[in-house]
Structure 1
Amino acid sequence: MHNSIKIGVIGPPAIVEVIRETLRSFPNFSPVIRASNRIGDAPVFAAEIMGQVEVLLFSGYYPYKIAKEQVSFTVPVHYIPLTGTGLYRSLFRMYRSGKIGGLSIDLLANQAVEKVLAELGVPASGMHYYDGVPYRLEDMIQFHLQTYQQGKSAGALTGVKAVADELTRRNVPNEWVIPTAQDISVSLERALLSTEKRRNKESQIVFGLIQIDDYNQLLERSHSEHDVQKVKLEIHRLFLDYAGCLDGHLTSLGGDEYMFVTTRGIFERETRGYKFIPILIDAKRSLGVSLSIGIGFGQTANEAGTHARLALRQAKEFGGDICFIVREDRSVIGPVEMAHPMVYELSVTDEELLMRAEKAGMTASYMSKLMAQVSRLGKMEYTAQELASILGVTLRSSHRILLQWLDAELVEIVGVEKISSKGRPRQVYRLSFVDELEKVR
């Protein structure tokens, strides 16, 4: 089917067959199945088929956990949890065989088991729960074995097939609690929803605003009107080629500003996951100009356009020759052209801190600039001269602002910096308000 969604299914053959049968009710899914009773195969299978599918589904938490530790997932990943329905079935089988008097149980929450037992009218006093390291198979096997040999239980309930197989080999009555068709259906619905969200996000409208830095100076360097028009034409051609790479639409907003529209999926692929904006390099190499670029994501075109303007403002405040992205949740990614783009909140939402900051003259703009600087450099300590440069104010204003922030306990003096034998030492300030924000988050 052209519109089918490829889903990778990984688990033991017994569960995979149930999943395969349940998938008949999900015509949108085209399964790629890997089945094995060896738990160690889960990460191998995941790495093998991840590039072929849009979503992965594991038969349970254990194979999912092992795969997650070894594989970096690039698609949505789900596992089928053990819920009440599978527990009902296993308890019923144990009850029918007369083994319900006392049980040893692993990987199932006490509350879930006791709730089911209460509904079945079975006493919960004889239940023994494994509380060791999760998924350490040998420990789990020993727990069930000892509980049974000591006469504390009549059998075991386990969520791991390898444990069930070993207990069977040692003649310990047991039930492997596996998900039911209902559990599988719920997990498949969640998997379907995640891929649809992903597809919707891929087709999301992206607005980009490009502003030419020092545009007037660029034109002034031209010797004639002919040269001016030639420069404008070259710039327009460069932007048009870039929009073509994005399968986008370019519009000149007049003068030094252009806008392009594309989709998020294409933009993510062309930027290699928000790491590379080739037009910044091309503009410098071919025309000797630097650009400020703001990219906006949003649920609507209006929202994306607003966020693009906010992102452009961030790029200009950073000094230009850079790109920033504002996402739909108003978080910021950038600078994109750097090796390790930072991600930070565009606005601070801690009301108490904002009130203190506002009284001390620390505007939201100042706060965002400082947080961006900390995110980019990992540096918390600055001199008044450095802060003046970051905030775009005079040194005198920087000293005045710092006195207010000291009084409000937003910054603290942590030392001095001696720059020369004759120069006066500079005080070094720590941005202690950033520590408060980290605690809140």
Structure 2
Amino acid sequence: MSTKIAVICSKAFMNRLNIISHEVPHIQLDFYIYNSPEETPNLMKQVKPCDVLLLAGTLPYLYAKHLLRQWPIPWTYIKQDETMISATILSAIAKHNVTIDRLSIDVMSSTFIQNVLQDIQFEGPLPYMQEIELSTPTKQLLTNHIALWQSKQIDLVITSIHAIYDDLTALGIPVIRMLDPKSSIIRRLNESISLSQLTKFESAKAVAGIIEFHKTTHNPLQMVEQLATIIHASYQQVDTCRFELFTTYGHLQNALTQNKLESFFTVSEKSAKLVFGYGESILEAQSNAQQALKYALPNAIYILTENKELQGPFPNTTTTLSLQAKDPYIVLMAKETKLSPLNISKIMTFSKSRQSLQFTAHDLSEHLQVTRRTSERILKKLVEHNYAKIVGEEMTYQQGRPRSLYELNFSTYH
């Protein structure tokens, strides 16, 4: 089966891509042509169903960046880099018999040019360079090129913008386009195929869910049916308060991305726990869902991945905690303190989420969702093994003993 790639590009790039694309089998190209990269966001609204979106350049990517955050299918873009600069400058020297200092180049980053010239140990005068920014009108770049030509400071313009190429050509000013090396284009087409295949594989991954209602919940079956419709799931009743659901990764992610599950908890008059497990098989997904249920809090969604990473709570602030002790440092901490790797992972997340280094047992208990007595026991174990230290006391305006201030004494950047 072929991979359908929507390509947003200039007419010149379309012609080049059509010449090259036959070397990449099993692809179908659907072009959306702009006269200026600024048109990219509007063209994205016209894209018909496809497997991958390919943007032909860094500039169209920058114009589309705000839309790509929520783009529902995989996307990639052809990046301007040192390889592109090297090929273009070599072509200019070989074909047009010009020296580097007699070039005017508009480029996404002048650092690319400087890196290339440093790599070849070039020690002569630099070319004229203009950095392309969204805030800089294309007309201004064009005007600068024309001024350099008219003042006889340059012999050739290299441009990254096809509209500037067309305008300079019409004026009879020598100009070439920034070259997109054939190898870079083929690499990006193959990457597009891989992105499509990976997405389809991920979307088909098995997902098992468990929903556990409060025992006094009225008519839970009706709510399960509504939930199953939202995530395109089948379900079965385990007991009076618990149901299992079966769906795919793609359907669940679509529901989470579009916030379709938020309303589920608002219609439930009693608290409910909802968890999902991912797996390469239904049995693995079920096992992960059952394990996630042990850590779930009411009225929130938790997910345990096939890599034993606990994600949640959705739809509120989401963190990822590892239930597997892979880091030797965490394994050692768990062994010495007799704390679980999950608790250590949560403590690391707690530390990274705070602006202040000092905290109280109450602060930690709120983050871990445990009693203050439990957090004090955890802190006692950390202090005993020098993974935390008491650095002072917090004075309160109420009666009672002052609360100890703690500071962690180990690296939390794992």
Common topology (TM > 0.5): yes
1:323–1:335: 8 Å Cα contact kept in structure 2?
yes
Distance 1:261 1:271 in 2: 16
Structure 1 position 343 matched with structure 2 position 342: no
C-alpha distance in 2 between matches for 1:85 and 1:371: 42
Consecutive unaligned residues in structure 1, runs of 5 or more: 220-230
Cα deviations by residue, 1:347-392 (Å, 9 ceiling, x for unpaired): 4755436534653454323224445667899897653345457657
Opposite residue 265 of structure 1, the aligned amino acid is G
The CA distance in 1 between the partners of 2:346 and 2:85, in whole Å, is 53
State the SS of the aligned residue for 2:46: helix
Aligned to 2:303: 325
The secondary structure found in structure 2 opposite 1:314 is coil
Which residue in 2 is equivalent to 1:307?
A: 288
Contact 1:412 1:429 in 2 (8 A): yes
**Counterparts of 1:237 and 1:43 in 2: how far apart (Å)?**
42
2:179 aligns with 178
The answer on whether the counterparts of 1:209 and 1:259 sit within 8 Å (CA) in structure 2 is yes
Q: 1:357 to 1:106 in 2, by over 3 A?
A: farther
Once residues 277 and 85 of structure 2 are traced to their aligned partners in structure 1, the CA distance between those partners, rounded to angstroms, is 46
1:261 Cα deviation after fit: 1.0
2:272 matches 1:291: yes
| Secondary structure, aligned partner of 1:366 | helix
For the residue of structure 1 that corresponds to 2:208, the secondary structure is strand
Return the alpha-carbon distance in structure 2 between the equivalents of residues 379 and 312 of structure 1: 32
Task: State the match for 2:188 in structure 1.
Answer: 187
Q: Which amino acid aligns with 1:311?
A: A
- 1:269 and 1:355, CA in 2 relative to 1: closer, same or farther beyond 3 A? same
Q: Can you list the C-alpha shifts for 1:307-338, whole angstroms capped at 9, x where unaligned?
A: 323322220xx3x34320123444433222x4
Cα 1:68/1:102, change in 2 over 3 Å: same
Aligned residue number for residue 75 of structure 2: 77
1:423 corresponds to: 400
How do residues 271-282 of structure 1 correspond to structure 2 at under 5 angstroms?
271-273=256-258, 276=261, 278-282=263-267
Q: Please give the alpha-carbon distance, in whole angstroms, between the structure 2 residues aligned to 1:43 and 1:96.
A: 36
Task: Name the count of aligned residue pairs.
Answer: 400
Distance 1:267 1:174, change over 3 A: same
Match runs of 1:345-384 below 5 Å? 345-347=321-323, 350-352=327-329, 355-356=332-333, 358-370=335-347, 382-384=359-361
2: distance between equivalents of 1:379 and 1:298? 38
- Whole-Å Cα distance in 1 between the matches of residues 409 and 160 of structure 2? 48
Deviation at 1:78, TM superposition (A): 1.9
Kept in 2, the 8 Å contact 1:8–1:56? The answer is: yes
What is the alpha-carbon distance in structure 2 between the residues aligned to residue 301 and residue 114 of structure 1?
Answer: 55
- Whether the 8 Å contact between 1:416 and 1:428 is mirrored in structure 2 is yes
Q: In 2 relative to 1, CA 184–395 (structure 1 residues): closer, same or farther, beyond 3 Å?
A: closer
List aligned pairs for 1:34-49, cutoff 5 A: 34-36=33-35, 38-46=36-44, 48-49=45-46
What displacement does 1:294 show?
1.6
Q: Is the 2:100–2:127 Cα contact (8 Å) retained in structure 1?
A: no
Report if aligned partners of 2:313, 2:319 keep a CA contact under 8 Å in 1: no
Aligned to 1:263: 248
Asked whether the equivalents of residues 90 and 175 of structure 1 are also in contact (C-alpha less than 8 Å), the reply is: no
Q: Extract unaligned runs of 5+ from structure 2.
A: none
* Kept in 1: contact 2:322–2:342 (CA 8 A): no
**Letter of the structure 2 residue corresponding to residue 352 of structure 1:** Y
Cα displacement (A) at 1:280: 3.9
d(CA) in 1 for partners of 2:295, 2:372: 22
In 2, distance between residues paired with 1:392 and 1:72? 32
1:202 equivalenced with 2:222 (yes/no): no
- The answer (yes or no) to whether the contact 1:296–1:305 under 8 Å persists in 2 is yes
Paired with 1:205 and 1:333, the residues of 2 have a C-alpha distance of 17
CA distance in 1, matches of 2:261, 2:283: 26
Deviation, 1:126, is 5.3
Aligned mates of 2:161, 2:93 — CA distance in 1: 17
For 1:227, the equivalent position in structure 2 comes to: none
**Does the CA contact (< 8 Å) of 1:374 and 1:380 recur in 2?**
yes
AA of the residue aligned to 1:62: L
Matched residue SS, 1:29: strand
**Per-residue deviation, residues 11-51 of structure 1 (Å, max 9, x unmatched):** 22211233355556665435141321x232223323x2357
Q: Is the 8 A contact 1:413 1:429 kept in 2?
A: yes
Whose helix fraction is larger, Structure 1's or Structure 2's?
Answer: 1
Structure 1 residues 199, 398: closer, same or farther in 2, change over 3 A? closer
Q: Distance in 2 between matches of 1:144 and 1:249?
A: 66
- Call closer, same or farther: CA 1:395–1:73 in 2, change over 3 Å: closer
Letter in 2 for 1:194: L
Tell me which residue corresponds to 1:96: 95
Structure-2 separation of matches of 1:274 and 1:330: 24
Which string of whole-angstrom CA distances, capped at 9 and with x for unpartnered residues, describes residues 246-288 of structure 1?
3323234456543221112222333444662555444x33xx4
Tell me the equivalent position of 2:28: 29
SS in 2 for 1:57: strand
Q: Which amino acid aligns with 1:39?
A: P
In the alignment, is residue 62 of structure 1 matched against residue 98 of structure 2? no
